[in-house]
Every structure is written in C-alpha cells, then in structure tokens.
Amino acid sequence: MWDISSARSLTSVDISTCLNENASLVSLDPGMVNQFRRKSELQASINCLDVDQSSNWMTCCGTFHDKSRKSFGFVCMFHVLTVTLTSATIIREQPKCIRFHEGFNRIITSTNNGAVTFWNKSNLHRESSTRTSMESSNCIALNEFSQHFAVSGSSCNLDCFAQMGNLSFTISLDVVD
C-alpha cells in the first residue's frame, strides 16, 4: 500500500499469508473446503483491487494456483487504515475485475466464466449473479452518477447494465478492414 501524499510505501500484504492467518474470516463456496485445506501449496495472484469513496475500504480479487495448475478464486475486503482483513470468500470461478458500486451499496466482480456477481459489502456474501454475453468478462466500467455499468471481456461485446442483475443491452463492436 502506498501513501500518495508522501509518495512512500506504507506496507506490503501477502494475500496467501493473510488468509492463512485469518482463516476464521474466510468463507468458502460449496465444494471448496478441500482446495483451501491445501493452502500451504497455493500461490496467489491479485487480478484487481478497488478502494471505496471514503478511502477506508479496499477490496481485491484474484486467483489461487496449485502445483497441478488447478485454479480458483478469492474476493477479500480490507480496512485500509488498519491494514486488516475483515472478510474473504473462496470461490470456484476466477474473478478478473472488482468494483465498489456505491449506488447499489454492493461490490461487483466479473469472472472468467462470463458472470457478473454482486456481493454484500459488509460480509462478502454472494447476493446474486447474472450471465454476460461473453465467455469471460474481464473489465467493469462504472458511471457513479447514473449508477449504470458496462462489462467487457473475451468478445467484441460490451454489456450495459442499468439495474443490478439485469442486462439492459449489448453493444457489439465489429472491426472493419
């Protein structure tokens, strides 16, 4: 973590160590218990992070890889001022992007399985999930004023949402020679 006002590093957080040391705060998707039991064999990579408007909370998402190249994902919430993990969830899919959505009072992730998932901000419980028009959704763009958001990914489509969980329309971008 960096303090941009003084341009210096404040601290470094190792996600694997943090989850191991705070296992009581980690919830698991059904069927994920055996994968997470082998946590000493896992390597984590962070795919994306976001800080809320107050700059007090940071959420990040990423992927765990084991030695056999199997992978699964995680979503974490940290209190920035104390650099404390407050909640985490281990999930089957691999989240690629994560955003705070202040208007919906939710956290949104896009995943490698073409889904957009909505999470409760206080405890990171999955509230709902909706499919996108692409196989893998990699990026979320958010309009804080209108509360609309768009998702892009592994195709030339741009999925636009005006309400939580409801795909409003898709824009297809074709390359012309």
Q: Per residue in 8-47, pLDDT tens?
A: 555 667 766 777 677 777 777 766 655 555 555 677 888 9
- Global pTM? 0.82
Question: Is pLDDT of 109 > 90?
Answer: yes
Residue entry with tokens 């499919």: 131
pLDDT-derived band at 170, boundaries 50, 70, 90:
very high
The range of the structural domain enclosing residue 122 comes to: 2-172
Would residue 177 count as lying in a domain? no
Handedness of CA 56, 83, 119, 4 (dihedral sign): positive
Would residue 73 count as lying in a domain? yes
Residue among 89, 139, 148 nearest 114 (CA): 139
Q: Write the CATH number for 39.
A: 2.130.10.10
In total, how many domains does the chain have? 1
Task: Classify residue 137 by burial, with Cβ atoms within 10 Å: 0-12, 13-18, 19+.
Answer: buried
CB of 90 closer than 8 Å to CB of 75: no
Output the furthest CA–CA distance in the chain (Å, rounded).
55
Would residue 120 count as lying in a domain? yes
Listed as own residue / partner, the contacts of 90-94 with beta carbons closer than 8 Å and 24 or more positions apart are 90/26, 90/27, 90/28, 90/29, 90/32, 90/35, 90/36, 90/64, 91/29, 91/32, 91/126, 92/29, 92/31, 92/32, 94/47, 94/63
* pLDDT for 162: 86
Q: What is the pLDDT of residues 34-90, one digit of tens each?
A: 555 555 567 788 899 999 988 899 999 998 887 777 788 889 998 888 888 888 888
